[in-house]
Amino acid sequence: MTEGTEENRRSNKVYSSLHSPLLIAGVERLLFVYLFVFSYLVFYATNKLMAGLSVAGVSLIAGRYLTKKDPHFMTIMINASMVKKVYDPMKFERVRVTLR
């Protein structure tokens, strides 16, 4: 039997609910917390309830749109912020090549 035949293939059941992020009001949990902390800070700074509610509403709509486009956005951004930068153009050193 060759390795690519139907009889030798292994298949595993994958449940999409195990790989989908947990959402609050259609927004990923971490993004939801950030949005409403920001809206509370706007309310606290301006001392106007309408300003805080409008920022919360706009943030919720933007967060739902972002979560619908890419459900794992916050996970990717957090992981990307922890990765060491491999290439930094500001630390570029010129190499001088001379031809004989």
| 3 state DSSP class of 11 | coil
**Domain membership flag for residue 9:** no
User: Rounded to whole angstroms, how far apart are CA atoms 20 and 37?
Assistant: 24
Q: Which is more confident, 16 or 64? A: 64
Identify the pLDDT of residue 58.
Answer: 92
Q: Which is more confident, 8 or 18? A: 8
Token pair, residue 46, equals 């301006």
Determine the structural domain holding residue 52 and report its residue range. 16-91
Mean pLDDT of the chain: 80
Residues 51/43, Cβ–Cβ less than 8 Å: yes
**Domain membership flag for residue 54:** yes
For residues 9-26, average pLDDT = 74
**Domain membership flag for residue 26:** yes
**Domain membership flag for residue 99:** no
Identify the pLDDT of residue 13.
Answer: 79
Identify the pLDDT of residue 30.
Answer: 81
| Total number of domains in the chain | 1
Q: Which one-letter DSSP state was computed for residue 19?
A: H
Q: Which one-letter DSSP state was computed for residue 24?
A: E
**Domain membership flag for residue 81:** yes
Q: How confident is residue 18, by pLDDT bands cut at 50, 70 and 90?
A: low
| Residues paired with 23 in a beta bridge | 28
Q: Looking at mean pLDDT, say which of 29-38, 43-52, 58-67, 75-84 comes out highest.
A: 43-52
